[in-house]
Amino acid sequence: MFAVVKRDGESKARAGVLKTAHGDIPTPVFMPVGTTGTVKGILQRDLVDEIGAWIILGNTYHLYLRPGTTIMKEAGGLHRFMGWDRPLLTDSGGYQVFSLSGNRKLTEEGAIFRSHIDGSKHFFTPENTIDIQRIIGADIIMAFDECAPFPCEYNYARRSVDLTHRWLDRAVARYRETDPVWGHEQFLFPIVQGSTFEDLRKISAEKVASAGMTGNAIGGLSVGEPAEEMYRMIETVNEILPEDKPRYLMGVGTPVNILEAIDRGIDMFDCVMPTRNGRNGMLFTGEGTINIKNRKWINDFSPIDPEGPSSVSLNYSKAYLRHLIISGEILGSQISSIHNLAFYLKLVGEARKKIEEGDFKRWKNAMVKKLSERL
C-alpha cells in the first residue's frame, strides 16, 4: 500500500508511493482541496492536464449537508458524481466542528452542530462519519477528531486529545465492521492531536500508531501557532509515527511550511491556500510571492511566472491577471487557482526528485530562502 522508495541522507525526507484503488500517488504530494466536490473554479480536466493533481480532497460535512447521502448514493459515490477517477480523500468534518465552533456542542457521543446553510440540527459521531465516508467512497477517509483551537489551555488540550482517542477507537471499530459501499478499498487515517504540548503529542502519536492503519495524519497544526512550534510538533510526532507508513500533515500550508515539513518526514499535504489566496490575488511564483492586485503590476506584461508550472502561467501576463482579479472576473480566479496549484504540485514534485537524487537538503535550503521573498 505504501512503500518508501528513497530516503534523503541528511534529513528525514523520503520519497514514496501510496497505492490506492484509483491509482498510485507518488509522495511527497500536495492534494488540492475540493470541499464540496469541486476544486473551486477548476475543471477536473485541468486538475489533470494543467495541474497534475494526483489526488484531491472532499469534505464529509459539506457533502453530507449538500447534496446529501441520498444523492451521493444515487450518483454512485463522489468519484462518479464529479467525474474524477483518480484518488480522493475526504476529511471527516472534524475541522468544521472547530471552524464553525459557534454552532456546535461536543459530547462524549459526538458533535451536535447546526448547518451553516439552513440552521438545521445535525449530529456527527465517529461511527456515522465512517458510514457517510463509506457512501462518499473516497480512497482515504479520516477519523472524526476534535481540532483544538490555538492558543489552548493544557487541560483543555488534554481532555480534547483523550476524547479524540476514544473517538478513534470507535471509528476504527466501525471501519473494521463495515465494508466499502462501492467495492474499492478505503484507508482510514487516524489523526494525531495535542495542540502544541509535546507530551500530549507523544501520547497521541503512540495512540495513532497503535491503531495500525495504512497511513497516519497530524492535525491541529497551522491553526495560528508560530511556524517554529509547528515544526517542533512535527519532529516530536514523527519520532513515533511508523516510518513505513505515509504521514499526512493536515491543512498545511505555505510553500515554505511544506518544504520544512517534508524535511521532517511528512509525505502528504492539503491546504486551501493556493486556491483561496489565489482567488484573492496572492500568487506563488518561482521568484517569490506576489500580490497581483498591487499597482506595480499594472503594466507588467511579462508572464505570471516565467518558470511556468502550468500553461496559464506562461500564456497570461501579470498585467492581464491583475486586470481580471481587480475587475472581479471569474477567469482571474481560475487562472490564479490553476497557476498556484500547479506551482504547489511542481514544488512537491521537485522535492521528490531532489530526494531521489540525494540532494534534497541543499535544494530545500535554497528554495526556502528564495520563496521567502515578497516581491
Partner RNA sequence: GGGGAGAUACCAAAGCGGCCAACUGGGGCAGACUGUAAAUCUGCUGGCAAAUGCCUUCGUAGGUUCGAAUCCUGCUCUCCCCA
Catalytic residue set: 91, 270
Stretch that binds RNA, among 80-88, 127-135, 167-175, 292-300 (CB under 7 A): 292-300
Tell me whether strands 268-271 and 56-59 are parallel, antiparallel or unpaired: unpaired
First-to-last C-alpha distance (Å) of the chain: 42
Task: State the Cα–Cα distance between residues 146 and 167, nearest whole angstrom.
Answer: 9
Stretch that binds RNA, among 1-9, 10-18, 290-298, 299-307 (CB under 7 A): 290-298
Tell me if 272 contacts RNA by CB under 7 A. yes
Tell me whether strands 121-124 and 111-114 are parallel, antiparallel or unpaired: antiparallel
Tell me if 86 contacts RNA by CB under 7 A. no
Tell me if 159 contacts RNA by CB under 7 A. no
- Counting beta carbons within 10 angstroms of the beta carbon of residue 323, is it exposed (0 to 12), middle (13 to 18) or buried (19 or more)? middle
Among 132, 203, 241, 271, binds RNA (CB under 7 A): 271
Size of the site for RNA (CB under 7 A): 56
Among 146, 79, 155, residue whose Cα is nearest residue 110:
146
Which residue, 153 or 357, has its beta carbon nearer to RNA? 153
Least separation in angstroms between residue 58's CB and RNA is 8
Tell me if 35 contacts RNA by CB under 7 A. yes
Task: State the Cα–Cα distance between residues 247 and 266, nearest whole angstrom.
Answer: 5
Stretch that binds RNA, among 67-75, 80-88, 120-128, 293-301 (CB under 7 A): 293-301
Question: Site mask, RNA, residues 122-141, x = CB under 7 A?
Answer: --------------------
Which residue, 276 or 361, has its beta carbon nearer to RNA? 276
Which phi and psi angles does 292 have, rounded to 5°? -65, -15
Q: Which residues contact 211 (CB under 8 A, 6 or more apart)?
A: 168, 172, 190
Least separation in angstroms between residue 148's CB and RNA is 8
Tell me if 348 contacts RNA by CB under 7 A. no
Least separation in angstroms between residue 229's CB and RNA is 11
Task: State the Cα–Cα distance between residues 313 and 326, nearest whole angstrom.
Answer: 18
CB 130 within 8 A of CB 188: yes
Which phi and psi angles does 248 have, rounded to 5°? -115, 115
Tell me if 260 contacts RNA by CB under 7 A. no
Q: Strand 121-124's sheet: what is its strand order? A: 104-106, 111-114, 121-124
Residues engaged in binding RNA (CB under 7 A): 33-35, 39-40, 57, 59, 62, 91-92, 94-96, 98-100, 102-103, 116, 142, 145, 147, 191, 217, 219-220, 222-223, 227, 250-254, 257, 270-273, 275-277, 279-282, 291, 293-296, 298, 326, 328, 330, 333
